Amino acid sequence: MPLPSCADHPSWTTLCHGESIAEGQARGFDLDGQGQTTVFVLHWQGQWRAWHDWCPHWRTGPMAWRRDAYFSGDGQSLMCHAHGARFDPLSGACTLGPCQGQALWPVALRLDPAGWVQIDPAQGPPLPAPEAAGGFDDTDLYRPATQGDNT
């Protein structure tokens, strides 16, 4: 199936050339120019994905603790460094941590015939509003410890 052309989808945004993201690597992009990454692109097992840099646990981002550090130490999953949630790189499903059953939010991605990575955030579903996202009630996780409390 031929790739859609940019004329068909004028909202495609070219981010970088695919050669600049090696297999097993990810790279974040500050689409809004606000000094914070909002989308990241990964190249893993020969496939490409773009995800909003937004964790379903606290419904915020960024997920990386330093620039482009989206993969776990073993390189097998994505990781939110706020509370350690892990995600399947290709499906975005949370596989471990406080937001199991939820998933990363996808961004439409294509490689053009010359190998440039292009995304179109307007094609994907919008990020859920915080009150609509549902999810994990973790108020108990951060309760202050009291004397004699060993939990």
Binding residue for ligand FES, selected from 50, 85, 104, 119, defined by CB under 6 A: 85
C-alpha 147/C-alpha 89 separation (Å) is: 41
Contact between 62 and ligand FES (CB under 6 A)?
Answer: no
Q: Quick check: helix, strand or coil at residue 86?
A: strand
Touching ligand FES, residues 28-57 (CB under 6 A): 55, 57
Distance separating alpha carbons of residues 68 and 27, to the nearest angstrom: 5
Would you count residue 121 as binding ligand FES (CB under 6 A)?
no
Q: Which stretch binds ligand FES (CB under 6 A): 69-77, 80-88, 100-108, 115-123?
A: 80-88
Q: Which of 40, 58, 87, 105 binds ligand FES (CB under 6 A)?
A: 58
Phi, psi of 42 (to 5 degrees): -130, 155
At residue 98's C-alpha, the angle toward residues 135 and 54, to 5°, is 70
Residue ranges binding ligand FES (CB under 6 A): 55, 57-58, 80, 82-83, 85, 97-98
